[in-house]
C-alpha cells in the first residue's frame, strides 16, 4: 500500500499535531542525509528549505498547510495534471525512462536523475541537493522497505497528493 500524504505528514511530525523544524531535521537524519563538511549544515539547510517551501515562517507546519502545498512534493509539471488517468500515465512515462527494467529505483539512480534536472535548471550545488533529495524521497515513500522506489509507490503517492489537494480534503 503506497504512502499517503497524511502518512508522510505523520512520519515527519511523529506524535505531534504539526511539523516543526526539529522534526524535519530528525526525519532528514533518519533518511541518512548526514552532516556534510561543516557539521550539521546539510540537515539544517535542507530542513530550512523544506519549511520555506511550505511557507512555515512560524517554525511549525500544520496538516492543513502541508496539504494545501502538497503539490510542491510532486515532480514539476505533474501537479498540473488533475485527473487520475493523466497522473498515472505521466508517472508511468517518467518511471519507465528512469527504470526500464522495473526493478525499483535506488538512491544512486534517483540522485542522478534529480541532479540532471537541477543542472538543467542551472541550480547551484546540484549534486548535494540531488543526494539529499534522493535519500529523503526513498525514506519517505519506500513503503515495502526494499530500499528501492517502486512504480506503485510513486504512482500511489502522486495520486493521493492530487486527490487530497484537488478535492480540498483535509481529513
Digit-coded pLDDT (tens) for 97-124: 999 899 999 999 999 998 998 898 888 8
**113 in a structural domain:** yes
Dist CA 79 CA 122 (whole Å): 22
Range of the domain at 56: 5-70+79-166
**171 in a structural domain:** no
Q: Which residues of 55-85 are buried (b: 16+ CB within 10 A; e: fewer)?
A: ebeeebbbbebbbbebbebbeeebbebeeee
Asked if 148 and 142 touch (Cβ cutoff 8 Å), the reply is: yes
**24 in a structural domain:** yes
CA 123 to chain centre: 18
Q: What is the pTM of this model?
A: 0.82
Question: Would you state the pLDDT for residue 170?
Answer: 47
Structurally, how many domains does the chain consist of?
1
> For 128-161, how does the pLDDT look when each residue is reduced to its tens digit (9 = 90+)?
888 888 999 999 999 999 999 999 999 999 888 8
Amino acid at each position: 500500500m503506497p504512502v499517503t500524504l497524511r502518512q508522510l505528514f505523520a512520519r515527519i511530525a511523529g506524535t505531534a499535531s504539526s511539523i516543526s523544524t526539529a522534526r524535519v531535521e530528525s526525519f532528514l537524519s533518519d533518511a541518512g542525509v548526514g552532516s556534510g563538511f561543516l557539521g550539521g549544515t546539510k540537515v539544517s539547510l535542507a530542513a530550512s528549505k523544506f519549511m520555506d517551501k511550505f511557507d512555515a515562517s512560524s517554525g511549525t507546519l500544520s496538516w492543513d498547510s502541508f496539504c494545501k502545498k502538497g503539490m510542491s512534493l510532486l515532480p514539476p509539471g505533474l501537479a498540473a495534471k488533475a485527473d487520475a488517468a493523466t497522473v498515472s500515465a505521466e508517472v508511468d512515462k517518467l518511471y519507465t525512462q528512469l527504470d526500464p527494467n522495473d526493478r525499483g529505483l535506488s538512491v544512486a539512480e534517483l540522485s542522478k536523475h534529480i541532479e540532471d534536472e537541477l543542472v538543467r535548471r542551472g541550480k547551484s550545488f546540484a549534486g548535494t541537493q540531488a543526494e539529499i533529495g534522493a535519500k529523503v524521497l526513498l525514506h519517505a515513500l519506500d513503503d515495502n522497505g526494499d530500499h528501492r522506489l517502486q512504480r506503485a509507490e510513486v504512482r500511489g503517492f502522486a495520486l493521493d497528493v492530487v486527490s487530497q489537494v484537488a478535492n480540498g480534503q483535509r481529513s
